[in-house]
């Protein structure tokens, strides 16, 4: 089997691993508080990737973070504390399938913030994609005509997406640095920060067995997802990897229907169609605009033979794919 095929399988595996987090978290929230859940998911990812960072000389190569990166690193950590807490609180009040699709609103949040704060260009195709995703999110958040009632669970998931949208823009500023270091800092500092908040808020510490399960889920669904994404991106590029990774919300929704027996209503089907159209347009916009410029940049990734500068054409990647001219970075939910 040739390398591009293996890399494509890695990209699909990365999406599937991340998709596991929604239905699995929904089940685990029956025995652990949302704040504790968010904390240990991130700690699990940080510990797992951190261990890989320590054991692999190759992973420790590349440019390290410095004092100039502190403002963006701090912002990244604080937002990564808030976002998963909002998400876990929302999961308690809405279905895992809804939450999986609403996660795609991160694309809208990231693009809007990038335009407003960083003056980044957004194409007409992407504007149309953002419209579809926004309409889908509104449908999923709306519960009925009586008093224009909205789902608090869906709104909390949207709040998480907005936090991650801002965090994505902060992370982009340091994304050319060592990926493993960034992910380890994200996981450990955000996780322990959320844990402190949970304890101060009076949350009960879960049973050790439950903690170990959540840590394992965090490592698999967050940490390993990023690991396989990096391996895929190094071979087939960020754009193609992004296209495959975009299936994650739909896989998450499907798993929710299969394992949690969540019902499918007309409202959800309509939202699913709009979200699918929006995601397809995002993918199209990414694949048709991976031209950009070439320059020397240090490749960081588990499949890289060295960390010496190499010239290549790169594109920006995450769940938000609005600017294909920027650096690629990773997110613990992507």
Q: Determine the Cα–Cα distance for residues 208 and 5; give it in Å rounded to an integer.
A: 40
45: confidence class by pLDDT, cuts 50, 70, 90: very high
- The helix (run of H) or strand (run of E) holding residue 72 is helix 70-93
Structure tokens at 134: 């926004």
Residue with the bigger pLDDT between 103 and 211: it is 211
According to DSSP, residue 68 is labeled G
CA–CA dist 148, 193 (Å, integer) = 36
pLDDT grade for 39, boundaries at 50, 70 and 90: very high
User: Distances in Å between the alpha carbon of 183 and those of 62, 122, 141, 226, 264?
Assistant: 14, 27, 31, 9, 36
* Residue 99: predicted pLDDT: 85
Distance between CA atoms of residues 76 and 105, nearest Å: 18
The 8-class DSSP code of residue 69 comes to G
The shares of helix, strand and coil residues in the chain, as percent rounded to the nearest 5, are 70, 5, 25
- What is the predicted pLDDT for the residue at 256? 86
Q: Which range in 64-73, 169-178, 230-239, 290-299 is most confidently predicted, on average pLDDT? A: 64-73
pLDDT bin (cut points 50, 70, 90) of residue 143 is low
**Residue 327 clears pLDDT 70, i.e. is over it:** no
pLDDT at 242: 59
The residue among 118 and 183 whose pLDDT is bigger is 183
State pLDDT tens for residues 246-301.
677 778 888 888 888 887 778 778 888 888 888 788 777 766 764 444 343 433 33
pLDDT band at 202 (very low <50, low <70, confident <90, very high): very high
pLDDT digits (tens, 9 = 90+) for 149-176: 568 888 999 999 899 889 878 877 887 7
- Please state the pTM of the whole predicted model: 0.70
């Amino acid at each position: 089997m040739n390398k591009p095929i293996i890399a494509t399988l890695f990209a699909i595996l990365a999406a599937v691993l991340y998709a596991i987090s929604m239905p699995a978290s929904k089940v685990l929230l029956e025995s652990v508080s949302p704040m504790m859940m968010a904390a240990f998911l991130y700690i699990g990812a940080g510990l797992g990737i951190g261990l890989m960072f320590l054991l692999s000389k190759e992973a420790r190569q590349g440019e390290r973070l410095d004092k100039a990166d502190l403002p963006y690193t701090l912002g990244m950590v604080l937002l990564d504390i808030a976002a998963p807490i909002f998400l876990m609180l929302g999961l308690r009040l809405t279905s895992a399938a809804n939450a999986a699709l609403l996660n795609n609103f991160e694309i809208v949040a990231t693009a809007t913030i990038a335009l407003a704060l960083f003056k980044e260009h957004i194409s007409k195709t992407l504007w149309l994609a953002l419209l579809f995703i926004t309409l889908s999110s509104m449908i999923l958040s709306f519960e009925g005509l009586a008093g224009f009632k909205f789902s608090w669970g869906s709104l909390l998931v949207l709040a998480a997406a907005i936090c991650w949208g801002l965090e994505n823009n902060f992370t982009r500023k340091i994304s050319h640095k060592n990926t493993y270091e960034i992910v380890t800092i994200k996981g450990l500092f955000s996780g322990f920060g959320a844990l402190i908040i949970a304890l101060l808020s009076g949350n009960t510490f879960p049973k050790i067995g439950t903690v170990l399960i959540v840590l394992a889920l965090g490592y698999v669904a967050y940490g390993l997802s990023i690991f396989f994404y990096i391996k895929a991106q190094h071979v087939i590029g960020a754009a193609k990897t992004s296209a495959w990774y975009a299936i994650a919300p739909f896989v998450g929704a499907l798993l929710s229907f299969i394992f949690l027996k969540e019902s499918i209503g007309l409202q959800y089907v309509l939202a699913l169609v709009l979200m699918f159209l929006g995601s397809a347009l995002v993918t199209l916009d990414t694949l048709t605009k991976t031209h950009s410029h070439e320059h020397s940049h240090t490749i960081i990734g588990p499949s890289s033979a060295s960390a010496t500068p190499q010239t290549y054409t790169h594109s920006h990647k995450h769940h938000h794919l609005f600017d294909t001219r920027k650096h690629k970075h990773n997110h613990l939910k992507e």
